[in-house]
Structure 1
Amino acid sequence: MANYFVGDIQGCFNELTLLLEKVAFNPSRDTLWAVGDLVARGPGSLETLRFFKSLQGSAKVVLGNHDLHLLAIHGQLKRANPKDHLSELLAAEDIASIIDWLRLQPLYQELPEQQLIMTHAGIPPNWELATLRARADAVSNILQSTDYLTALIAHMYTNDIDQDLPQLSSLEQQIYCINALTRMRYITDSGALDFNCKAPIEHCNHSNLTPWFQLSHKLPKDYRIVFGHWAAIMGQTQHANRLALDTGCCWGEYMTLWHLESDQKITQNKLKDVKQS
């Protein structure tokens, strides 16, 4: 049995297929972990979601910001960006069952025996493991309810909730959780999430910003965090226990697959001018 972790797919389904062929992925034996953002910029979002849905227990998925945005688009709270190539997905005959499946996916996944946690963007440095579980599970409970659109999705589009303060309401805690686990990159000196700078630290001209993974953490010391979301750093964290897997395939770079047991990374370059199957 092998555990494979893949970076942001963003609808680049052909590249994912080639990566899995390189390692002879077998769903009857292996597990595929995805750091979120299954959909968006690439033309194969429908195929990607159908594939992961079909894997059932052989896939471990977390929601990314683009996946949550898809819920809002399908719920007619937001309009799709034409650059996201979602028309085929939204018009699919099985879109309702796909959305229902997506709503069941959590914001974090654990592999306790390996002391490993996966989220889309990272974990706030001031959160203990119990806090992560409680806050993320609270969001999942809402997403799985019938009124998830009005109870949560309609309210999540804000940059104002950038700190986990004691006075936050339950809804505000859920919004902060989404912001932190699916959108976080830098944290300010005052402990707030920064939503403006996406560049790597050497190109971000703000002395008060620190990448979240460079700050001391309240998780158990040896825990590894696997995440995506931040293509600009191209997998570089300079931290052995912080594994960044988004390497910008949808932006013309490459997709990264990490094999846990051998600690090896396998890559697949973005295909040029190839229509997704």
Structure 2
Amino acid sequence: MATYVIGDVQGCHDSLLALVTKIGFRRTRDRLWFVGDIINRGPKSLETLRAIRGLGEAATVVLGNHDLYLLMVAAGWRKRGKDDTLQPILDAPDADNLLDWLASRPLMHVEGSFAMVHAGLLPQWTIPQARALAGEVEAVLQGAGRQTFLADLAGNTPAEWSDALTGQDRLRCIVNAMTRMRFCTPGGEMEFKHKGPPSNAPAGAMPWFCVPGRQHDSHTVLAGHWSALGLHIGPGFVGLDTGCLWGGKLTAYRLEDGKVFQVAAVEAGK
């Protein structure tokens, strides 16, 4: 059995098929972990969502910012972006089932010495604390409070974690760290305006995984979200967004031995 962690698919269904063929994936033997943003902007978001859901227990998916964006749009709480590719999902006869399945995905997955989130973890969070905080969000998203939660999810504040945070501010801070963060200060204040490479770090901030003394260094964090970073394999962090959507590559990282598998974006040639 092998476990492959796959970077941001974002609706690039044909590239995903090419990658799983390359690695020789068998659902009865292997597992696929997805770092989030499985849909949106790519040309086949509906097909991608159905395919990954159809893998059943062979697939583990954490929520990314684009996945949450779909849930907000479907609930009527977010205006559509001109470049989104969500309409086929919203129009699908199985839309409700697909949306409920997506909402039931975790925000963070921890197994062995690995922790998977879409974007990152604040430096002051331990793995057990982060997993518990993710659970708070999941409980609301999967319960009767989903609509209220989604209605007030968008926004950049609060930008800094405090154990004293409550209510929607607390939930939004957790979500922003785990699904949107790239840069933060050594004290853990998040910065959302800069999206370029690490060399583009704003004054006083750095890539979240470069903060000294991170409290979650007991595990290797697996994430995506940052196409300008590209493939990054370093102590305590593996970044897997290699810009498939933008004509780059789709990447899989095998947990057992760290081997990397890549395919060029199939969609880019169409």
TM-score norm. by structure 1 comes to 0.93
1:142 is matched by which residue type in structure 2?
Answer: V
Aligned to 2:107: 107
Partner of 1:169: 166
1:39-50 equivalent positions in 2, closer than 5 A: 39-50=39-50
Between the two proteins, the alignment pairs up a number of residues equal to 269
**Which of 148, 172, 176 is matched with 2:146 structurally?**
148
Q: Give the corresponding residue for 2:89.
A: 89
The aligned residue for residue 30 of structure 1 is 30
Listed one character per residue, the Cα deviations across residues 47-66 of structure 1 (whole Å, up to 9, x for unaligned) are 11111111111001000000
Q: Which residue of 2 aligns with 1:69?
A: 69
Give the Cα–Cα distance (whole angstroms) in 1 for the partners of residues 163 and 23 of structure 2.
47
Matched to 2:138, the amino acid is: S
Between the aligned partners of 1:29 and 1:189, the Cα distance in structure 2 is 42
Amino acid at match of 1:208: G
1:65 partner amino acid: N
Task: Pick which of 126-135 and 94-103 moved more.
Answer: 126-135
The DSSP-based 3-state class of the residue aligned with 1:231 is coil
**What is the correspondence of 1:196-211 to structure 2 with a 5 Å cutoff?**
196-204=193-201, 206-211=202-207
What residue is the counterpart of 2:180 in the other structure? 183
Deviates more, 1:261-270 or 1:99-108: 261-270
Q: CA deviation at 1:88?
A: 1.1
Q: Which runs of 5+ in 2 are unaligned?
A: none
**Post-superposition offset of 1:129:** 1.8
SS of match in other structure, 1:257: strand
User: Aligned to 1:140, what secondary structure does the other structure show?
Assistant: helix
Give the drift of 1:131: 1.2
| Residue pair 2:35, 2:63 contacting (<8 A) in 1 also | yes
1:233 aligns with 229
Aligned equivalents of 2:151, 2:85: Cα separation in 1 = 22
The answer for the alignment partner of 2:52 in structure 1 is 52
Task: Write out per-residue CA displacement over residues 178-197 of structure 1, whole angstroms, 9 at most, x where no aligned residue.
Answer: 00000010002553100011
Counterpart residue identity of residue 226, structure 1: L
Quick one: percent identity of the two aligned structures? 35
Find the aligned partners of 1:146 and 1:170 in 2 and give their Cα distance: 15
1:253 is matched with: 248
* Paired residues of 1:11 and 1:46 also in contact (CA < 8 A): yes
Query: In the alignment, what sits opposite 2:262?
Result: 267
1:219 aligns with 2:216: yes
5+ unaligned residues in a row in structure 1: which ranges?
none
8 Å CA contact retained: 1:8, 1:255: yes
* 1:79 is the counterpart of 2:79: yes
Structure 2 residue 239 is the aligned partner of structure 1 residue 244: yes
- Assess if the C-alpha contact under 8 Å between 1:230 and 1:246 holds in 2: yes
| CA deviation map 1:10-51 (0-9, x unaligned) | 000100000000011011111000000011110111111111
Q: Which amino acid aligns with 1:158?
A: G
Deviating more after overlay: 162-171 vs 262-271: 162-171
- Post-superposition Cα deviations, 1:75-97, rounded to whole Å, max 9, x if no partner, equal 11123223111111111000000
Give 3-state SS (helix, strand or coil) of 1:232's partner: coil
Residue in structure 2 matched with residue 138 of structure 1 by the alignment:
136
How many angstroms does 1:220 deviate by? 4.8
| Alignment check: 8 A CA contact 2:119 2:226 kept | yes
CA distance in 2, matches of 1:240, 1:188: 19
Deviations 1:251-276 (A, max 9, x none): 1111111111231111111125666x
Letter in 1 for 2:136: A
Do 1:135 and 1:173's aligned partners in 2 also have CA atoms closer than 8 Å? no
Structure 2: how far apart are the matches of 1:228 and 1:184?
11
Q: Secondary structure at the match of 2:83?
A: helix
Instruction: State the SS of the aligned residue for 1:106.
Output: coil
CA distance in 2, matches of 1:11, 1:126: 33
CA RMSD of aligned residues (A): 1.5
- CA distance in structure 2 between the partners assigned to 1:53 and 1:246 by the alignment: 21
Normalising by the residue count of structure 2, what TM-score does the alignment of the two structures yield?
A: 0.95
Task: Report the alpha carbon displacement of residue 119 of structure 1 after superposing the two structures with TM.
Answer: 0.3
Structure 1 counterpart of 2:229, one-letter code: I
